[in-house]
Chain A
Amino acid sequence: QSALTQPASVSGSPGQSITISCTGTSSDVGGYNYVSWYQQYAGKAPKVLIYEVTDRPSGVSDRFSGAKSGNTASLTISGLQAEDEADYYCSSYTSSSTYVFGTGTKVTVL
């Protein structure tokens, strides 16, 4: 099972919007609406931001939103803030009943 493909880094200025892509196959991202996104600060455990492609758990800012088209999912961060500087990972359920994470994206706030 190969890792989902994410850009290594994305940057933006405060207040801007950025989008992180997550590309898989029809056996994972494209085949199920079971894509989730996690935020991880250095030295900390990950935290879920989005589940089932578009849903946000309670307590997560509405500046985070998810979408999917074909085999590619995406996470958009609107109104970028300094506190958004972290690593971001997508994850998908697969046709083997397993899970796979993305390669990870480092977000830098300029």
Chain B
Amino acid sequence: EVLLVESGGGVVQPGGSLRLSCAASGFRFDDSTMHWVRQSPGKGLEWVSLITRHGVTTYYADSVKGRFTIYRDDSKNSLSLQMNSLRTEDTALYYCAKAETYDSSWIDFWGQGTLVTVSS
């Protein structure tokens, strides 16, 4: 069974930093492309970032580029998102998600999300 469990969310002040983690199990993590997707309260989905298998390549939405860094530890089946210079508009539920295969354009499994609140 595929499981994705996010952690690390919380309340942080504007300008602060936070690191989110996602523990993965039930599939070949090192061979998978992984995504972060967020959803502000009562709003729609927003794609944030992806990292290809083995960490070869990373991509970011313009809204987070230069502030967020996605990385993975294949030895621990772990995905992370380092978030710096946080803004109030970064407040959202952050989902860790798995692409169907390493080169698929769609997501087949999602975690339950971890909530990040940026507020003074």
Contact = CB atoms under 8 A, between A and B. Distances in A.
Interface of A: 1, 3, 32, 34, 36, 38, 40, 45-48, 51-52, 57, 87, 89, 91, 93, 96-104
Contacts of B108: 48, 57
A96 B35 CA distance: 15
A93 B105 contact: yes
Contacts of B60: 98
B85 interface: no
A48 B46 contact: no
Interface of B: 35, 37, 44-47, 50, 59-62, 95, 100, 104-108, 110-113
Contacts of A34: 105-106
Contacts of B45: 38, 40, 46, 89, 91, 101, 104
Contacts, number: 62
Contacts of A103: 44
Given A46-B95, A89-B44, 12 more contacts: A1-B61, A1-B62, A3-B44, A3-B46, A40-B45, A48-B106, A48-B107, A89-B45, A98-B47, A98-B60, A99-B35, A99-B47
Contacts of B107: 36, 38, 46, 48
A97 B60 CA distance: 9
Contacts of A101: 37, 44-47
A13 to B, nearest CB: 26
A51 B59 contact: no
A91 B95 CA distance: 15
A53 B54 CA distance: 28
B74 to A, nearest CB: 21
B9 to A, nearest CB: 15
B46 A51 contact: no
A51 B104 contact: yes
B75 to A, nearest CB: 26
